[in-house]
Amino acid sequence: MFAISKQQSKNRSAFMRIFVTGGTGFIGSHLVKQAMQQGEEVVVLRRSPTSVPRIQWDSSPVFVDAEMADVKREDFENCDAVVHLAAHSAKVPYDTMENCILHNVLEPLKLVQTAISAGVTRFVIAGSCFEYGTSGERYERIPVDAPLEPTSTYATSKAMASIAFSGLASMTNSQISIHRIFHVFGEGGELDSRMWPSMRRAALNGEDFEMSAGEQLRDFIPVEEVASKLLKAATDATENCGAAKIVNLGTGKAQTLSQFARFWWHKWNAPGQLKIGAVPYRQNEVMCYVPEI
């Protein structure tokens, strides 16, 4: 492996144009920033001109202001790859099954088929570790061919999308990679209600932080690393077309929630108390989500 020089990046930008959904979101903001720094041309789909990225970009991409269902063939002009990061109802409380299927399966399928009709052959799809659901508890390391046994409307729709995109890859001879992202965290736009930013806010404000007993095994991966891996998948022309590739996107390192919490609490020199075991586990909590990498 070797680093891409600035000159090489400039040369590559002449032929690499990436269309990104969810580009102003948590992972998307980091991916778009890295892509532009690498010299790629980036087209970002956003619902409204008022949508702003979670982190500051050094330059501006091309914007397509439209709902996903309304994207047109010409919006993919000269695009080499599509990175689909947009997701509907990815946090509690989840939306209805019907709405999750509409926004996480049917609309993305239409978007990808429109891109295929415009000549795009390479697609990077953001999946979720929660597609594995309860089957995760039967593995020390979850393989990509583990049964999909989701336990929420959101995870069910993402599992359905994985199956649908796998079939589409075979039917259209397109290169589609589905990346089941494990527990991403970090600065720059993670939802305030999630564990890491909630804990960080409490730590920096000198407050106590209440959490479950923290016995859940997880694979925590920094958002910058997730963005980098997805970008590499979008710009790597060595993959064969015609079949979907399922990827577990994590570090391969398992740790409990309590270990993760104690590490960061100490790193932040938090004066408050970390109250492990103060709240109950969530309903249908899956205790092990660790991928085979």
Q: What is the pLDDT of residues 46-77, one digit of tens each?
A: 999 998 999 999 999 999 999 999 999 999 99
Please check whether residues 175 and 265 belong to one and the same domain: no
Residue 1 lies in a domain: no
Reported confidence tier of residue 92, pLDDT bands at 50, 70, 90: confident
| Crossing angle (nearest 10°) for helices 153-172 and 107-117 | 20
C-alpha distance from residue 149 to each of 100, 110, 129, 132, 133 (Å)? 16, 25, 11, 5, 5
Per-residue confidence at 22, pLDDT binned at 50, 70, 90?
very high
One domain, residues 201 and 117: no
Q: Are residues 73 and 203 in the same domain?
A: no
Rounded percentage of the chain residues whose pLDDT exceeds 90: 83
- Looking at the structure, tell me whether residues 87 and 16 fall in a common domain: yes
Q: Is the pTM of this model over 0.95?
A: no
Q: Give the number of domains in the chain.
A: 2
Do 273 and 212 lie in a common domain?
Answer: yes
The pLDDT score that the predictor gives to residue 3 is 38
73 with 23, same domain? yes
Domain of 180 in residue numbering reads as 6-186+221-249
Average pLDDT over residues 260-265: 98
Q: Above 80 in pLDDT, residue 2?
A: no
Binned at pLDDT 50, 70 and 90, residue 262 comes out as very high
Q: How far apart are CA 279 and CA 178, in angstroms?
A: 34
210 and 225 share one domain: no
- Would 141 be classed as within a structural domain? yes
pLDDT at position 15 is: 59
User: In the predicted model, is pLDDT for residue 36 greater than 50?
Assistant: yes
Mean pLDDT of all residues in 188-210 = 92
Mark whether 110 and 77 lie in a shared domain. yes
Phi-psi region of 2 (alpha: psi -120 to 50; beta: other; left: phi over 0): beta
Whether 284 is in a domain gets the answer yes
Q: Are strands 288-289 and 217-218 parallel, antiparallel or unpaired?
A: parallel
**Tell me, what's the pLDDT at 242?**
66
Among residues 96, 126, 52, 92, which one has the least CA distance to residue 195?
A: 92
Q: Give the confidence band of 285 by pLDDT, cuts at 50, 70, 90.
A: confident
Whether the per-residue pLDDT at 8 is higher than 50: the answer is no
Q: What value does the mean pLDDT of the chain take?
A: 92
What is the token pair recorded at 60? 């501006």
Tokens coding 53: 């990225």
- Pair (131, 261) in one structural domain: no
* 192 vs 31, more confident: 31
Separation of alpha carbons 124 and 178, rounded Å: 6
